[in-house]
Amino acid sequence: MASGTAKARPTRPRGRPKSLARGRVVEAAMLTYWQGDPGTLSLNEVARRVGVSKPALYREFGSEDGLIAAVLDRYRDEVVTPLLATLRSERPFFEVLKDLLASMTTPRDTPPGCLFTKMRLAPWRLAPASASRVDAIRDEMRDAFEDGYRRALARGGEVDPNLKADQAARFIDAQFMIVLIQCNMGEAPEDVRMRAEVAFRGLLAP
């Protein structure tokens, strides 16, 4: 038998593994869902592209529903909130809508189209937490459209007084969905803007 002091075996840390960098993972997952098709993108593929294991995602977010909910929260903060700020402007409502069109159709560093719109078009992928985020963002945007239309009505001479504000809000929401779908399909931004402006002119006062 060999003499000498035996080397101590390394001990494993107790408890669950150290938490992953949540902010980095949420940002990477947001871009992954945004660039791809949330309706068909598997969680295995999301984990591969983000660079973490699937079990690590489950440990941190509880489920894919939890991950998508966190992604939508980040998307709201980074993308939707600035749009809501634009809608609070007191400039003519049609000019505000054109500003939103420009921001949605101008080439940028982020993927084309809109992650929120993609999620709306894939409801089968959403579970309770993520579905509630989609509904909340939709309602928030529609409320902002409705409020902007009401303020335009109060100023007078801008928009059609025969159209109810809630109906106008749903129409605007639908038109922007079409815009974002067309952008995601790779259509020319100037053509997308032109068609949307023609549609929005239907809201103007006779």
CATH number at residue 126: 1.10.357
Residue 63 lies inside a defined structural domain of this protein: no
Does a structural domain hold residue 110? yes
Q: Is the pTM of this model over 0.85?
A: yes
DSSP code at position 146: H
Averaged confidence pLDDT in the chain: 90
Q: Looking at the predicted structure, is the pLDDT value of residue 8 above 70?
A: no
- 186 within some domain: yes
Compute the distance between CA of residue 67 and CA of residue 157 in angstroms, rounded to an integer. Answer: 46
Distance CA 193, CA 139 (A): 24
Domain of 189, in residue numbers? 74-203
Please say if the pLDDT value at position 4 is more than 70. Answer: no
pLDDT value of residue 7: 45
Q: How far apart are CA 183 and CA 192, in angstroms?
A: 7
Predicted confidence band at 2 (pLDDT cuts at 50, 70, 90)? Answer: very low
User: Does pLDDT of 12 surpass 60?
Assistant: no
Share of the chain above pLDDT 90, in %: 83
Is position 10 within any domain?
Answer: no
Three-class SS state of 159: strand
66 inside domain: no
For residue 42, tell me if it sits in a domain. no
Residue 57: inside a domain = no
Tokens standing for residue 83: 């749009």
Taking residues 43-57, what's their average pLDDT? 95
What pLDDT, on a 0 to 100 scale, did the predictor assign at position 127? 97
pLDDT tens-digit map of 68-105: 999 999 999 999 999 999 999 999 999 999 999 999 99
Residue 110: band (very low, low, confident or very high) from pLDDT cuts 50, 70, 90: confident
**In-domain check, residue 9:** no
Question: Which of these, 206, 197, 202, lies nearest to 97 by C-alpha position?
Answer: 197
Q: Between 111 and 142, name the one with better pLDDT.
A: 142
Tokens of 195: 């068609």
Give the number of domains in the chain.
1
